Amino acid sequence: MRRGARLVAVCLALAATMIPNAAMASDAGFARFLASLWPEAQQAGVSRSTFDTVTAGLEPDYKLPDLLLPGRPQTGAPSQAEFVQVPADYLKESRIEALAGHGRKLLSQYGATLRAIEQRFGVPATVVLAIWGRETDYGRYRLPYDAVRVMATQAYVGRRKDQYRVELIEAMKIISDGVVPREAMRSSWAGATGLTQFLPSEYYKHGVDFDGDGKIDIWRSVPDALASAARQLVNKDWKPGVRWAYEVRAPANADCTQGRPDVSKSVGQWVREGFTPVRGERLSAEELAEPASLLQPEGIYGPAFLTTKNYFVIKEYNFSDLYVLFVGHLADRITNPQPFATPWAASKQLRTTDVEAMQRGLTRLGFYNDKVDGKAGMLTRAALGAYQKAARLKLDCWPSETVLRSIEAAR
């Protein structure tokens, strides 16, 4: 089990000891809630027999995170590895190389299918393989939850009830359409299902029957799952022929506050400003003309990247810089054995609550105007750097306890 998955499992086990009697007594309300869904399910095309079978005996799972229960402290999602681990831990070299090695075998095994996917959608075979590898370890990781139960619980007492009400109906429709049996529809705690982790609504938006059997089966058909992942990227505006990012060396005088998605320059302009490709590669005129944003995941420490439009397309799959770096780098490693040229430097990451405190402080001081979510992403790091400039502190755009104390003391 992945380290992040173990952390989630521990959190859920602890939460199970805190389930209040009031929540357990509300199961009759849950049954009434399920029954009330029939008109919507019927309108969506769910058969009555499927609806009755799926809801019969269904019980809520009050151990899930992200629920609002009487007598239980409000909790958000469990801390995802993408947002609490330092890059060196999340992008562990041994893990990347193991996945890349297996990816090379799959690149050969599914060569004809992957070439056809790439020809049809313009998404490199290595990218869809990397998504599959990151999401479910190429199908070797068994998803731990009953997807229907997850979505029913979240629709009933979750923080995002309206979203999961839609997802629950869509999950019923998938079962009603005979695509996959209920017992095979396993998911993460958040309801993502299939080899490449789609929510049910994404299944109907992006799913592809690539093996030609008349069904879009992202649970058991590798061609369908990989083609569906490619189509999802295309539907989010993937640009064929463009790399996801370039690793670069930043000049000594680089301003890390420029590391924001809205600060976009051509790759050539960044190169003229001293951001040079790490291995001295010569870029084509088309590559130099491509718009890019600066990404420094550890501030001025560790690797730096010029990220293209396709970087942000992958980020639509999972809104985490480390996730995109994992997928992008794994895709590269399947055909190129070279690791990142610059080693990761950070050994400690602030706790989520401390990053939230930092975001609130930066908001109070006028440096930050995005959501307070405890995730030290590009906007938080840039705002932190702007504060460091104003406070005449060392400019490194990296959240630390020292800077947090300074922000909290500032007026």
| Backbone φ and ψ of 210, nearest 5° | -95, -20
Gap between the Cα atoms of 374 and 134, Å rounded: 23
| Residue whose C-alpha is closest to residue 336's, from 87, 114, 103 | 103
Q: Amino acid letter at 411?
A: R
Strand partners, 186: 146
Q: Amino acid letter at 187?
A: S
How many residues make up the chain in this entry?
411
Per-residue pLDDT, 348? 82
Both tokens assigned to 378? 């590009």
Gap between the Cα atoms of 224 and 219, Å rounded: 9
| Residue whose C-alpha is closest to residue 230's, from 262, 198, 190 | 198
Contacts of 18 (CB under 8 A, 6+ apart): 72, 73
Neighbours of 146 (CB within 10 A): 17
Q: How far is CA 102 from the centre of its chain?
A: 22
Residue 283 · residue 277 · CB < 8 Å: yes
Dihedral (CA of 285, 286, 289, 294) sign: negative
Gap between the Cα atoms of 233 and 132, Å rounded: 13
Strand partners, 264: 293
Both tokens assigned to 317? 């799959």
Sheet holding 304-307, edge to edge: 264-266, 291-295, 304-307, 245-249, 276-277
Please give the C-alpha separations between residue 327 and each of 28, 159, 212, 221, 405, in angstroms, as whole numbers. Answer: 44, 29, 28, 21, 35
The 8-class DSSP code of residue 19 comes to: -
Per-residue pLDDT, 347? 73
Q: How far is CA 341 from the centre of its chain?
A: 24
Gap between the Cα atoms of 8 and 189, Å rounded: 9
Both tokens assigned to 330? 């794994």
Per-residue pLDDT, 399? 94
Buried b (16+ CB within 10 A) or exposed e, 44-68: eebbeebbeebbeebebbbbbbbbe
Burial of 206 (0-12, 13-18, 19+ CB in 10 A): buried
Taking only the tens of pLDDT, the chain with its 411 residues reads 444 444 444 444 444 444 444 444 458 999 999 999 999 999 999 999 999 999 999 999 999 988 998 766 555 555 455 446 789 999 999 999 999 999 999 999 999 999 999 999 999 999 999 999 999 999 999 999 999 999 999 999 999 999 999 999 999 999 999 999 999 999 999 999 999 999 999 999 999 999 999 999 999 999 999 999 999 999 999 999 999 999 999 999 999 999 999 999 999 999 999 999 999 999 999 999 999 999 999 999 999 999 999 999 999 999 889 999 999 999 999 999 999 999 999 778 888 899 999 999 999 999 999 999 898 999 999 999 999 999 999 999 999 999 999 999 998
> What pTM value is reported for the model?
0.89
